[in-house]
């Protein structure tokens, strides 16, 4: 970094990745909670975080949403919303048994994976799911079918060591928020071992995950440091950090907001990359840029790899006037 006189701000080139931030599935899920509050009044219960971002959750809590871990924490006389990550079939079944009003905010691209899994099961195939154990989306997908019918594959080693009941009767689905490159490696191992394995008709990894990773790859080599705005429990945000490091950024960090930035990390940095995970609102990006401007003479270069025009409609019951 060039010598800076005392009192002067050092120069900083900020490469702003695009697309970034909210995807259509996240936007729809948040709108479902907001619209439910408009129609039914507070409180509206939400099973699990609607999306993995505390800023979003806390804002909805201020509006009257109550977030719970399980359905048995919800009273029967108030609406309940299921999170964007999807839920096991047992959850809506229990809500129906209790005559509850419930709304499913599962991302349509996650629902597509659920439908694929059920279709393969109906054709007698065992199903392999590439994903991360314990993630709500994985729990929801595995819960679409009886125990043992979906086998979780997390790594290439898992793919090498898995022993099928019938090597000629396998199908593959994936979590929607994985690293595109890591998943391709696991799929290659499985295809090599099981040439007859049925693959998704279209990519299970969602368009937003793919686009945000492509945007990070487009800026990573130029960056001394890449900042990814997102929650520590957000799969797609954590994958952006990994993708940035592998694509050539000297360092990559996940931060929840401007307040979490370790400014010592920016010592000697003159080229900064900035993006946000699919559940991070744009105002968090704006706050980081404002914090940067307080400390640096910032020049912003937005690097856009594609435009996103996807919109998912709200459930019919929420589209109708109150």
User: For position 136, which CATH number holds?
Assistant: 3.40.1010.20
Is 118 one of the catalytic residues?
no
pLDDT digits (tens, 9 = 90+) for 184-205: 999 999 999 999 999 987 778 8
Q: Which of 193, 220, 246 is the last residue of a domain?
A: 193
Q: Are residues 29 and 95 in the same domain?
A: yes
What CA–CA distance (Å, rounded) separates 73 from 237?
A: 29
Whole-number CA gyration radius for the chain? 22
Which residue among the candidates 137, 154, 245, 302 is catalytic per the annotation?
A: 137
Per the structure, how many domains does the chain have? 3
Q: Are residues 220 and 280 in the same domain?
A: yes
Q: Which of 140, 160, 193 is the last residue of a domain?
A: 193
Domain annotation covers residue 202: no
Domain annotation covers residue 229: yes
Q: Are residues 183 and 216 in the same domain?
A: no
Q: Are residues 188 and 160 in the same domain?
A: yes
pLDDT digits (tens, 9 = 90+) for 295-307: 999 999 999 999 9
Structure tokens at 180: 């595109």
* Least confident residue range of 4-18, 46-60, 122-136, 218-232: 4-18
Q: Are residues 73 and 18 in the same domain?
A: no
Q: Which of 152, 169, 193 is the last residue of a domain?
A: 193
Q: Dump the DSSP string for 90-138.
A: HHHHHHHHTT--EEE---HHHHHHHHHHHHHHHTT-EEEEES-TT-HHH
Name the nearest CA neighbour of 7 among 308, 306, 297, 318.
Answer: 297
Q: What percent of the chain has pLDDT above 70?
A: 97
Domain range for 258 is 11-22+207-304
User: For position 71, which CATH number holds?
Assistant: 3.40.50.11270
pLDDT digits (tens, 9 = 90+) for 101-112: 999 999 999 999
Q: Are residues 296 and 213 in the same domain?
A: yes
CA-angle at 266, arms to 233 and 16, nearest 5°: 65
């Amino acid at each position: 970094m060039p010598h800076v006189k005392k009192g002067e701000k050092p120069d900083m080139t900020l490469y702003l990745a695009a697309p970034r931030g909210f995807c259509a599935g996240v936007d729809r899920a948040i709108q479902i909670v907001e619209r439910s509050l408009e129609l039914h009044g507070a409180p509206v219960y939400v099973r699990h975080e609607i999306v993995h971002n505390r800023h979003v959750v806390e804002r909805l809590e201020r509006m009257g949403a109550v977030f719970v871990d399980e359905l048995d924490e919800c009273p029967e006389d108030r609406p309940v919303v299921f999170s964007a990550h999807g839920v096991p079939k047992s959850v809506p079944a229990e809500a129906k048994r209790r005559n509850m009003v419930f709304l499913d905010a599962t991302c349509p691209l996650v629902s597509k994976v659920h439908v694929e899994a059920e279709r393969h099961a109906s054709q007698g195939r065992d199903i392999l799911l590439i994903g991360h154990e314990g993630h709500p989306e994985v729990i929801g997908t595995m819960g679409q079918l009886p125990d043992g019918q979906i086998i979780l594959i997390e790594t290439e080693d898992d793919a090498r060591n898995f022993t099928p009941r019938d090597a000629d009767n396998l199908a593959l689905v994936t979590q929607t928020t994985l690293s595109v490159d890591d998943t391709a490696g696991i799929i290659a191992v499985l295809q090599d071992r099981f040439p007859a394995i049925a693959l998704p008709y279209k990519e299970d990894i969602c368009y937003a995950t793919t686009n945000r990773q492509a945007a990070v790859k487009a800026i990573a080599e130029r960056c001394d440091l890449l900042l990814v705005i997102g929650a520590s429990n957000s799969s797609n945000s954590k994958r952006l950090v990994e993708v940035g490091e592998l694509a050539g950024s000297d360092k990559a960090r996940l931060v929840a907001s401007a307040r979490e930035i370790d400014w010592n990390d920016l010592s000697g940095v003159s080229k900064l990359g900035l993006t946000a995970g699919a559940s991070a609102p744009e105002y968090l990006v704006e706050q980081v840029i404002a914090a940067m401007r307080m400390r640096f003479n910032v020049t912003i270069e937005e690097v856009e790899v594609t435009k996103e025009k996807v919109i998912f409609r709200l459930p019919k019951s929420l589209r109708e006037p109150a």
